[in-house]
C-alpha cells in the first residue's frame, strides 16, 4: 500500500491544497494500514516519514517542545496551522473571482480548481461556481474569456 503523497511547500494556494490532499490520503492510509492500532510513538515516526522533507523542515524550524512532537494529532494541528495561516477570506475571494479558465485547460479541470479555491475561502455555493464558470470559461469560438 503506497503512503500518502508528500506535503510539499510551493506557493500559498498550493500548500493549502496539498495539505487538504495529504490530510485526506493520511486518513485513508491510517485506516487501511491499521496504523491506529500501533503505539503513538510508531504513528508519529510514520507520520514524519510520510509528510516528507519540506514539512519536516518546517517542523524543525519551529523548535517544538518534545510534548508537541509526541502526538500525531498535535503535529497535524501544527502543520495545518502553518499551511493555512491566518485566513484572509477577502483575498481568497479575490483569487476565486479572478480565476479564469486557462488556455488548454479542460472545462472539468477548471470547475475542479474553482471548487478547490472556493473551499479555501468558504465560497462553496453552487451559484457562485456557476457564475464564475459563465464569466471565466474560454469561448472556444472566439478563443478568449467571455
Q: How many domains does the chain have?
A: 2
**What's the predicted TM-score (pTM) here?**
0.56
Q: What is the pLDDT of residues 36-95, one digit of tens each?
A: 899 999 998 898 888 888 888 888 888 777 777 788 888 888 887 777 665 567 777 787
Domain's final residue, options 37, 58, 84: 84
Residues whose CB is less than 8 angstroms from the CB of residue 112 and which lie 6 or more positions away in sequence, other chains included? none
Same-domain check for residues 77 and 102? no
Evaluate whether residue 7 is within a structural domain: no
Residues whose CB is less than 8 angstroms from the CB of residue 103 and which lie 6 or more positions away in sequence, other chains included? 138
Evaluate whether residue 103 is within a structural domain: yes
Question: Would the CA dihedral through 126, 130, 133, 135 be positive or negative?
Answer: negative
Evaluate whether residue 63 is within a structural domain: yes
Same-domain check for residues 141 and 110? yes
Q: What is the pLDDT of residues 89-106, one digit of tens each?
A: 777 778 778 888 889 988
Dihedral angle computed from the Cα positions of residues 93, 95, 101 and 103, in that order, rounded to the nearest 10 degrees: 180
Amino acid at each position: 500500500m503506497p503512503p500518502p503523497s508528500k506535503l510539499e511547500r510551493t506557493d500559498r494556494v498550493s500548500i493549502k491544497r496539498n495539505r487538504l490532499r495529504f490530510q485526506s490520503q493520511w486518513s485513508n492510509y491510517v485506516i487501511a494500514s491499521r496504523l491506529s492500532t500501533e503505539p503513538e510513538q510508531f504513528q508519529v515516526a510514520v507520520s514524519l516519514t510520510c509528510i516528507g522533507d519540506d514539512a519536516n523542515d518546517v517542523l524543525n524550524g519551529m523548535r517544538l517542545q518534545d510534548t508537541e512532537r509526541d502526538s500525531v494529532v498535535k503535529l497535524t494541528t501544527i502543520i495545518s496551522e502553518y499551511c493555512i495561516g491566518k485566513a484572509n477570506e477577502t483575498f481568497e475571494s479575490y483569487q476565486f473571482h479572478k480565476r479564469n479558465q486557462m488556455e488548454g485547460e479542460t472545462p472539468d479541470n477548471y470547475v475542479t480548481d474553482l471548487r478547490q479555491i472556493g473551499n479555501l475561502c468558504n465560497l462553496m455555493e453552487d451559484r457562485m461556481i456557476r457564475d464564475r464558470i459563465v464569466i471565466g470559461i474560454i469561448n472556444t469560438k472566439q478563443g478568449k474569456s467571455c
